[in-house]
Amino acid sequence: MKVTLAKTAGFCFGVDRAVSLVEEAVAAGKRVSTLGPIIHNRHVMDHFAAEGVRELSEPEEAAAGTTVVIRSHGVSRDVYERLSRRGVEIVDATCPFVKRIHKLVIRAEAQGRVPVIIGTPTHPEVQAIAGWCAHPHVFEGPEALENWLREDPSRAHLRLTLVSQTTSTQNLWESCKKIIKKQCTNSEIFDTICEATENRQKEAGELARCCDAMVIVGDPMSSNTKRLAMICRQFCEDVWLVEDAGGLDVSHFSCIGSVGITAGASTPAWIIKEVNNIMSEEIKVETAQEENFAELLEQSIKTLNNGDKVTGIVTAIGATEIQVDLGTKHAGYIPVDDFSSDPSVKPEDVLKVGDEIEVLVVHVNDSEGTARLSKKRLEAGKAWEEIEAAAESKAVVEGLITEENKGGIVANVKGIRVFIPASQTGVPKGGDLSALVKTTVQMKITEVNRARRRVVGSIRAVTNELRKAAQEKIWAEIEVGKKYHGVVKSLTSYGAFVDIGGVDGMVHVSELSWNRIKNPAEVVKVGDEIEVFVISYDPEKKKISLGYKTPETNPWNIFMTQFHVGDVAKVKIVKLMTFGAFAEIIPGVDGLIHISQIADRRIGKPEDVLSEGMEVDAKIIDIDAENKRISLSIRALLTASDDEAVEE
């Protein structure tokens, strides 16, 4: 008898991932529960139950502080939100292909489209997909879809988005697509049948065509296992669906010339091997290559080990995974979530088919011949080594601030989470730490505990070193008259302290302005960037006196360059006296209008004609440069005839 094993028999990578996540959580010592059966296989569930894994029916059964794994079928939005409110750690093992469908229907409704789902309405995967829609329409097959369109002809003009259950048959899906394309005018169609499912079903059909009998290994409750049996029965009359080796009647196969064996996506490798062993003990079995089934299985295992660092060639870049040729009998794939620690990095932007890539082997699936890989974990391992080296050498590292929390801020350094206490940020106590979020900073690593995945950093350690170096440079090069670009750090009643690049100097209030001021705040404020110059310095006492006002900003000098005797200026009356009025010509420079020069007639007092704040035109009739005095006249602007009349 000739026995042929389907290459695609056993776990798909989505189920494999879900089972692995449960195993990892159990190995970590967590109290683990699964929301519904993590896999449609009684043997696997019994194994996990023995490990203490609870199976929950509803989110409300989850105890706070436990870990709940969402199975590969996924859950609805409502279930996810109810679970989130339970105070549990959620491990989302939803198959990436299913997750993609969730995103498609969410986006469809956001765009005003109508989601149409092809699949078994009672299947958990379909219920989960529908649970991410406000108004989903689920049809088991082309007949139900066509009836729905026929009931109301206007539905053919709806903006439809068509998706399928990942384990649906290709024939059923193609029939539904044909109806939509023919009858609907504004539809979009997404082929969401899992490639692994499609290949498994295709190979099962091909085997059934050329074999006298077919053995389908899997849980009878598994949808994809039942579909395999249905497909095989279309081409082969003798089809056996068995849960395990105990369901085989080995005597039945004694007179059969050829047998094909395949298994559902929820069937672990050890059950497939057990079926083979029972048949091998009772019947002399040969494979297509005249080898027994056990030898065939042995050819595809142990060529890779979990934790291996390997190099492969990128063969395909998809929406949910990157396929990698490892040069072994295992097909390698990197889930998109395991590609990079930076969520903004898209594989298609940094990779192309044919590129060489180094990855870490996360999980080897011998029965399916696949290896789940991770570039992110490999980078994380290297990053930990670099972080530890930086801590030991006290080297400066760069990181992106990602969040603020109660005690400080968190940075991402090469994919590693680094906590920076508030006291080590360089921000004054009570300052706004959120301003640092989304900025790139330099820091030193002060503490590393790889076992606890704890890393502590300090921005202040770097700024202190930079400040010290800057101080040494300033004191080595400082000289009287040297100019600096500084930042006002603080104000006092007697002046302003200015940081000139690591060293603080003081600008006395008298050096801030040419005008008489009472408070430095009248001229500058904290944070202002100003140009200052050195008046004097004391290296021993580490004190620097700075100047801010310069001859170029001296109001008198400005006046002397802009005005001359005989010029007319628009002036502002600032003070009235018994003998006349003082008027501001430019800020900081006043002139006197004597009472005799205010009007074209004799007046008793200046306020008879003028008032403070009034703006008038006045002629400059005298400038005493030595004593910095200016005489102004309104009367001089009167006409000559008016002047003569006044004199008479």
Q: Determine if residue 222 is labeled as part of a ligand binding site.
A: yes
Exposure letters 408-439 (e unless 16+ CB within 10 A, then b): bbbbbbbbbebbbebebbbbeeeeebeebeee
Torsion of CA 282, 287, 290, 292, to 10 degrees: -50
Tell me the two tokens of residue 645: 């009349």
CA distance 347 to 358: 14
CA distance 628 to 630: 7
253 in Cβ contact with 26 (< 8 Å): no
Q: Determine if residue 76 is labeled as part of a ligand binding site.
A: no
From residue 57, give the alpha-carbon distance in Å to each of 33, 35, 37, 61, 90. 10, 6, 9, 7, 15
Q: How much helix, strand and coil, in percent to the nearest 5, is found in the chain?
A: 35, 30, 35
Q: Determine if residue 137 is labeled as part of a ligand binding site.
A: no
What is the residue-wise DSSP string for 206-245?
HHHHH-SEEEEES-TT-HHHHHHHHHHHTT-S-EEEESSG
636 in Cβ contact with 621 (< 8 Å): yes
Q: Determine if residue 95 is labeled as part of a ligand binding site.
A: yes
Tell me the two tokens of residue 265: 């996506």
- Cβ neighbour number for residue 614 with a 10 Å cutoff: 14
Q: Determine if residue 166 is labeled as part of a ligand binding site.
A: yes
Provide the residue type at 495 as one letter. G
Burial of 302 (0-12, 13-18, 19+ CB in 10 A): exposed
Q: Determine if residue 266 is labeled as part of a ligand binding site.
A: yes
Q: What are phi and psi of 493, to 5 degrees?
A: -70, -20
125 catalytic, yes or no? yes
User: Could you tell me which residues come within 8 angstroms of residue 207 by beta carbon, excluding any fewer than 6 positions away?
Assistant: 4, 6, 214, 232, 260, 262
CA distance 593 to 632: 5
Q: Determine if residue 508 is labeled as part of a ligand binding site.
A: no
Q: Determine if residue 458 is labeled as part of a ligand binding site.
A: no
Q: What count of Cα atoms within 13 Å lies in the side-chain half-sphere of residue 455? A: 27
Q: Determine if residue 73 is labeled as part of a ligand binding site.
A: yes
From residue 646, give the alpha-carbon distance in Å to each of 560, 597, 601, 609, 635. 32, 12, 6, 16, 10
CA distance 396 to 418: 13
Provide the residue type at 410 as one letter. V
Provide the residue type at 210 as one letter. C
User: Could you tell me which residues come within 8 angstroms of residue 498 by beta carbon, excluding any fewer than 6 positions away?
Assistant: 486, 487, 488, 489, 504, 505, 506, 507, 530, 532, 546
Geometric angle at alpha carbon 263, from 260 and 264, rounded to 5°: 145
CA distance 497 to 506: 4
Question: What is the C-alpha R_g of the chain?
Answer: 42
Burial of 291 (0-12, 13-18, 19+ CB in 10 A): middle
Among 23, 24, 61, 125, the one annotated catalytic: 125
Beta bridge partners of 358: 311
Which residues have a catalytic role annotated? 125
Q: Known binding site: residues?
A: 12, 40, 73, 95, 123, 166, 194, 222-224, 266
Binding-site members for isopentenyl diphosphate are 40, 73, 123, 222-224, 266
Report the binding-site residues for [4Fe-4S] cluster. 12, 95, 194
